[in-house]
Amino acid sequence: IIRFFTVPKVKDARTSAGYALLFIALLYTTAPAVSAMARMNFMNTMEPAPGEYLAYEDRPSWFKKWETTGLLGFEDKNGDGLIQYTSNAETNEMVKVDRDIMVLANPEIAQLPNWVIALVAAGG
């Protein structure tokens, strides 16, 4: 934000700092909305319609890939072969959903282009 030594006029430095603060505020105010949408996107993938659960064999490719990292974990508690993602700890079969998976896998879940996935992976 400090640009006083890199620009010739004080006005330019203030303008630059103002834009920087605006974009930082935008980033911090949209982060909760993005996380809520990521969680909703994940839940809609696991349960496409109310009461219609995704079969473990039919899980998407991103699920298989991220499951190997240990960030996702599935345990078929009732033996029906369906992934039941619920709020009840006794019936929830997604025993591991790491917080990082919401950020890292969301572009893949939403089927965004590869360059968006690369930006997320790079931390940009």
| Residue indicated by tokens 């499951």 | 67
In a domain, 42, yes or no: yes
In a domain, 1, yes or no: no
Picking from 36, 2, 35, the residue whose alpha carbon sits closest to that of residue 16 is 2
In which domain, by residue range, is 88 found?
10-122
In a domain, 4, yes or no: no
In a domain, 111, yes or no: yes
- Parallel/antiparallel/unpaired status of strands 94-97 and 82-83: unpaired
Query: 89 in helix, strand or coil?
Result: coil
Number of domains in the chain: 1
Burial of 83 (C-beta count, 10 Å sphere; 0-12/13-18/19+)? buried
In a domain, 2, yes or no: no
For the entire predicted model, the pTM comes to: 0.69
2-42 pLDDT tens trace = 656 677 888 888 888 888 889 889 888 888 888 888 888 88
Q: Which residue has the higher pLDDT, 2 or 54?
A: 54
In a domain, 5, yes or no: no
